[in-house]
Amino acid sequence: MKAPANSVPSIISSDVTIKGNVSTSGEIQLDGTVEGDVKSNSVTIGENGTVKGKVNADDVIVKGTVKGSITGRNIRIEKSAKLTGDICHQTLSIEAGAYIEGSLTHQNNLPNNTPGNATKVVSANSDEKSVEQKKIF
């Protein structure tokens, strides 16, 4: 279920650190740190934002740091981005200057990444997941 067109994004400001998974059917502007997975309809990771976990969203814009995989229909990696992990996408744009270490996989029919209409934050387990990586740039 998509969030209503008039809803405002949830903002995680630069002084906030979340240790756990974040899930919403709306939009997230992430300028702080999430140590866990992020699942949303739309995610923007600002230049000072960091995600240490998986990102699943229909629309993803990365300006900051992601240490984990990204799965999305429309993904835009901007020049200030630092990504260590794999990307599974329908459409992908990468600006010159972006750092990416991982594999890229195109998939035509990705499932809808939007979670149900519940919003929740839950505790994360402290084990870090290793990601097989290979440098592509």
Q: What are the tens digits of pLDDT across the range 88-103?
A: 999 999 999 999 999 9
What is the three-class DSSP state of 72?
Answer: strand
Q: What is the pTM of this model?
A: 0.77
130: DSSP letter? P
Question: Is residue 15 assigned to a domain?
Answer: yes
Q: Specify if 89 maps to a domain.
A: yes
Q: What is the pLDDT of residue 124?
A: 35
| Lookup: tokens for 5 | 């067109």
- Is residue 134 domain-resident? no
Mean pLDDT of 108-129: 44
Whether 44 is in a domain gets the answer: yes
Higher local confidence (pLDDT), 2 or 96: 96
Query: Averaged over 105-125, what is the pLDDT?
Result: 52
**Cβ atoms of 63 and 45 closer than 8 Å:** yes
- DSSP letter at 65? E
Domain enclosing residue 38, as ranges = 10-110
- Please give the share of the chain, as a percent, with pLDDT higher than 90: 71
Total of domains in the chain: 1
Could you tell me the two tokens for 55?
Answer: 């990102």
Domain-embedded: residue 136: no
| Domain contains 56 | yes
Q: What is the mean pLDDT of residues 35-59?
A: 97
* Nearest partner of 86 among 71, 107, 97, 99, judged by Cα: 71
pLDDT tier, 53 (very low <50, low <70, confident <90, very high otherwise): very high
Q: In this structure, is residue 119 part of a structural domain?
A: no
Domain-embedded: residue 61 = yes
